[in-house]
């Protein structure tokens, strides 16, 4: 749970909060950054203190000053009541879902959800007697028709992290409130800098802090931020599961957070430029980026979001596998791998047809997810142009 390191203050602009929240040089002998606390055992001065357990820290798993610093900073950015750190983004998702369900319950999950979240619902939750209905991410207020007396949670992810459908979060939040459901949202793509999930009605905002908060592809971390209503449930489950991040990973999250506004703006601008450029390429059938004016989700994105991240997808024109391999295998600046949010550009082929159940993927060409890093945009275009030349040559041979 978040333990403030200095007196609470008003919520400032996100760039200011990213620099100043979660640190108090006067408590660290004047050093700008809080120290890294590594520890398990915390000693108590007296028997009374041990029995009362009322000192700020009682055991390493339940938090350290380093953990509290990052929790405070993220909580400030999210505008929440409490933030809880986890060892990964997926652990933030699973801890949040388990906090609100029990055997016999029902959850509504967007069909565009992060695939490991779907796997958790289909395996662990199913084994615990919790049923899942996947819904069209563009359903909006029609979601009410899917609610049953057993429904407890609505889970959103806007936009979806592969196919980028933008959900009407205010409409879904209103439905959740009306039916006394919990609304949990994965806000990793935009981060609280570009989408204020709690202000738009969510009870819980999840971030895979591995991505943009860490920002350097060198640590795994997750964050759960709650409003006042959801805090007790998440606090109990977080403690019961023994969830805790590593000391070094937490420090790397703190370090990355300080430059998040600058990095995310660069990711946003560069990705939008690359996405616009790809739209004009004859090798591309469709670009999936809500920041583009002709994207189906653009109107909602423009209404609710203040920016975008470096992640989007595109669909190649139908071509043999050899042509796709010729395109991606020899790219100089685009690594091929999972995750995203680091300073480096990435590309990942994907096919959602094997796991989408409520919606249908209509494209025959290979889908590619792009993460645009901090490299020079012209260099990235040159790299992709060379890839398209290889793609066309292989397609014609």
- Helix H, strand E, coil C: the string for 254-287 is HHHHCCHHHHHHHHHHHHHHHHHHHHCCCCEEEE
| pLDDT score for 2 | 44
Given 37, 114, 135, 194, which residue is catalytic? 114
Work out the mean pLDDT of the chain and round it to a whole number: 94
Known active-site residue 383: no
| pLDDT score for 348 | 97
Write phi, then psi, for 388 (nearest 5 degrees).
-65, -35
Going by C-alpha positions, the residue among 386, 395, 353, 346 that lies closest to residue 368 is 346
Give the chain's residues under pLDDT 50: 1-8
User: Beta strands 367-371 and 311-316: pairing type?
Assistant: antiparallel
Going by C-alpha positions, the residue among 280, 367, 274, 371 that lies closest to residue 315 is 367
Burial class of residue 296 in the structure, from the number of CB atoms within 10 Å of its CB (0-12 exposed, 13-18 middle, 19+ buried) = middle
Given 186, 196, 203, 304, which residue is catalytic? 186
| pLDDT score for 11 | 67
User: Is it true that the peptide bond before 192 is cis, omega within 30 degrees of 0?
Assistant: no
111 and 159 Cβ atoms separated by less than 8 Å: no
Distance CA 102, CA 378 (A): 52
Q: How does pLDDT run across 295-318, given as a tens digit for each residue?
A: 999 999 999 999 999 999 999 999
Known active-site residue 302: no
Given 61, 177, 302, 321, which residue is catalytic? 61
Stated pTM of the model: 0.92
| pLDDT score for 317 | 97
Given 23, 118, 211, 356, which residue is catalytic? 211
Side-chain-side CA neighbours of residue 72 (13 Å):
21
Known active-site residue 114: yes
| pLDDT score for 32 | 79
| pLDDT score for 10 | 67
């Amino acid at each position: 749970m978040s333990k403030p390191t200095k007196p609470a203050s008003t919520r400032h602009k996100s760039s200011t909060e990213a620099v100043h929240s979660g640190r108090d040089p006067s408590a660290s002998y004047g050093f700008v950054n809080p120290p890294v606390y590594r520890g398990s055992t915390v000693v108590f001065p007296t028997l009374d203190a041990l029995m009362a357990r009322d000192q700020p820290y009682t055991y390493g798993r339940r938090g350290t000053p380093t953990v509290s610093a990052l929790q405070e900073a993220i909580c400030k950015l999210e505008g929440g009541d409490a933030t809880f750190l986890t060892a990964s983004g997926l652990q933030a998702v699973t801890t949040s879902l388990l906090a609100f369900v029990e055997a016999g319950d029902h959850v509504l999950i967007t069909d565009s959800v992060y695939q490991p979240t779907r796997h958790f619902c289909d395996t662990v939750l199913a084994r615990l007697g919790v049923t899942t209905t996947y819904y069209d991410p563009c359903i909006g207020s029609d979601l009410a028709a899917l609610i049953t007396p057993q429904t407890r949670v609505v889970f959103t992810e806007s936009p979806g992290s592969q196919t980028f459908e933008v959900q009407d979060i205010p409409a879904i939040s209103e439905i959740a409130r009306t039916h006394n459901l919990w609304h949990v949202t994965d806000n990793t793509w935009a981060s609280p800098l570009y989408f204020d999930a709690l202000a738009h009605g969510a009870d819980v905002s999840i971030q895979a802090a591995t991505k943009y908060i860490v920002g350097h592809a060198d640590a795994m971390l997750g964050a759960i931020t709650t409003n006042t209503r959801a805090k007790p449930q998440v606090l109990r489950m977080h403690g019961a599961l023994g969830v805790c991040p590593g000391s070094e990973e937490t420090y790397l999250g703190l370090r990355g957070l300080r430059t998040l506004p600058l990095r995310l703006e660069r990711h946003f601008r560069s990705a939008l430029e690359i996405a616009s450029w790809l739209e004009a390429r004859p090798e591309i059938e469709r670009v999936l980026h809500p920041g583009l004016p002709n994207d189906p989700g653009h109107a909602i994105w423009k209404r609710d979001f203040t920016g975008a991240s470096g992640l989007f997808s595109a669909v190649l024109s139908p071509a043999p596998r050899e042509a796709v391999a010729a395109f991606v295998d020899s790219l100089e600046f685009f690594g091929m791998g999972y995750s995203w949010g680091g300073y480096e550009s990435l590309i990942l082929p994907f096919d959602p047809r094997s796991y989408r159940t409520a919606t249908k993927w209509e494209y025959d060409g290979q889908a590619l997810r792009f993460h645009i890093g901090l490299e020079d945009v012209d260099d990235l275009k040159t790299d992709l142009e060379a890839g398209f030349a290889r793609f066309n040559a292989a397609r014609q041979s």
